[in-house]
Structure 1
């Protein structure tokens, strides 16, 4: 994990953390221009509780890096258009209450302010922002380590399940073979029962025919007895 000194000294480390603008509001609220996007030099100096001269010296020394992260200076027509846009959004005490720069205006974005926080040494607010960045990174590292352990535990459990399934495979195969044999035996039993049912039906028909014959014999015997006694 990088230290605060490393963050102050390394452009590469600062670049890796330029997306963490949420750290600014965790330390102190930013006062933006009416568009909600930009701040002036005075606004940034007030946020870090340093003089505008201190901030200007810093931005002059690191102008290229800060420009890459959103800082720009407006002059001439661009400045007039920007003031016109801001006046249309201004909610203060009339247009005269909006602070207009006469010749040029240096603008910062949240990303630029975070960049300044990683460069400004003599500001308690900047130090708090850096601490917030590093603490959040440490929390993320700890969370990642915890997640990594949990994933490893799940992988270990899955490995055990895989071994159990491999051992269970032959058992399931034997059970499947036994069930196939039993199924064939049941088919044979069904066939035998079906044949027996057919034979019983035939025997029942034979008994019915025999009963009819016996009834016929009994009737003839009775007729013969009547003729003999008459």
Structure 2
């Protein structure tokens, strides 16, 4: 079975390729120019169909069959207030006619279009995009394999110990550390008193943050009051000055 066929059938391989490419969608532009909406990010179902040279219904079937996978890649169906906002901000600048029914609009970012390319069987453009993706991934894997690997040294003080020496020394010096580690790892439950202490500690931390914020605000108010007093002192001097001259 070819890698192209495996990609069509394996969500795991598609996810691994997406992870390796890390959001890079250059494979789309290497095959064919992808026309975007005025926001420079999304395409509609019709625009995706034009790019892959298939019918709109083919793209819609892919969206239905692989809804969760494509939604994870950023595909969205806009309705209601979200649709009105998108229409006012983006579709008003669209030079073509309104691409779908006015009750809803499905939009796909470039990453979702790349995901559609990994799902379309009978599209010449999609096959070319898949080849470009595999070439980019193979180049990445070759560079990763050629890079020197640094392995972490984990000296074990005892053959049966799974700890590094520094961890072992801390645990040996204080057995309570191991008890807390078992609780944190879920090996042992916290008792009621410990849970209450943890809750109290969280509340104290939150109280400290609130007190610090109040202190900062009071400092700002103190600066404002000192500035107001300075202005009042100047005004008093200005008012007292003419009166003193008249008395003389």
TM-score scaled to structure 1, two decimals? 0.57
Residue 63 (structure 1) aligns with: 67
State the structure with more CA Rg.
1
Distance 1:53 1:87 in 2: 22
Per-residue CA deviations over 1:141-182 (Å, capped at 9, x if unaligned) read: 34445555xx9xxxxxxxxxxxxxxxxxxxxxxxxxxxxxxx
Residue 168 (structure 1) aligns with: none
The match for 1:73 among 74, 77, 82 is 77
Residue 11 (structure 1) aligns with: 11
What do you get for the CA RMSD once the two structures are aligned?
2.3
Structure 2 residue runs without a partner (length 5+) = 150-248
8 A Cα contact 2:52 2:126, kept in partner: yes
Residue 134 (structure 1) aligns with: 134
Per-residue CA deviations over 1:84-118 (Å, capped at 9, x if unaligned) read: 00155x174xxxx5526411101101111011000
TM-superposed CA distance for 1:135, in Å, is 1.4
Residue 99 (structure 1) aligns with: 98
Higher helix share: 1
User: Are 1:111 and 2:111 an aligned pair?
Assistant: yes
The match for 2:31 among 27, 33, 36 is 27
Residue 42 (structure 1) aligns with: 46
Distance 1:91 1:72 in 2: 19
Distance 2:87 2:55 in 1: 24
Residue 175 (structure 1) aligns with: none
Distance of aligned partners of 1:113 and 1:87 in 2 relative to their CA distance in 1, 3 Å threshold: closer
Residue 121 (structure 2) aligns with: 121
User: Match of 1:39, SS?
Assistant: strand
User: Match of 1:17, SS?
Assistant: helix
User: Match of 2:78, SS?
Assistant: strand
Distance 2:141 2:25 in 1: 19
8 A Cα contact 1:87 1:98, kept in partner: no
8 A Cα contact 1:20 1:133, kept in partner: no
Distance of aligned partners of 1:78 and 1:44 in 2 relative to their CA distance in 1, 3 Å threshold: same
TM-superposed CA distance for 1:7, in Å, is 1.2
Greater relative contact order: 1 or 2 (C-alpha under 8 angstroms, separation 6 or more)? 1
Distance 1:146 1:32 in 2: 37
Q: How do residues 191-210 of structure 1 correspond to structure 2 at under 5 angstroms? A: none
